[in-house]
Amino acid sequence: MNPKATNLDPNLRQAYDRVMGTATPQPTVSTAPHPSGDSAKPQTQVVTAKKRGGLSLVLIAIAVVLFFIIYTVIWAMFFKLKLPFLPF
């Protein structure tokens, strides 16, 4: 965050000062007249969430299934179980 930015929210500036232990210069209040209230609309900012790799979820699921298959085969070999789909 740039502490010299003058368009910060006062709450954000206060939190920054509290966390960083610094006192940033406060912006000066403009005494210029504002346009009529009819044209002033509150600004909104839309933040969209990024979809994080759907492929990684598929890879994790495949890895978990393979782990349990290999785990089962190892224990079947250890206890010498006769399973019809295993050649030993």
How far is residue 25's CA from residue 75's CA, in Å, rounded to a whole number? 68
Q: Are 33 and 27 in contact (CB under 8 A)?
A: no
Which of 8-12, 53-57, 59-63, 67-71 is the least confident region? Answer: 53-57
Confidence of residue 71 (pLDDT cuts 50, 70, 90): very high
- Position 9, amino acid: D
> What is the token pair recorded at 58?
């598929």
Nearest CA to 13 among 42, 46, 5, 28?
Answer: 5
What confidence score (pLDDT) does residue 23 get?
A: 64
What confidence score (pLDDT) does residue 35 get?
A: 60
- Is the confidence at residue 34, as pLDDT, over 80? no
pTM of the model: 0.38
- Is the confidence at residue 37, as pLDDT, over 60? no
How far is residue 3's CA from residue 22's CA, in Å, rounded to a whole number? 9
The whole-chain average pLDDT of the chain stands at 79
Instruction: Calculate the CA 8 to chain-centre distance.
Output: 22
Q: Are 86 and 76 in contact (CB under 8 A)?
A: yes
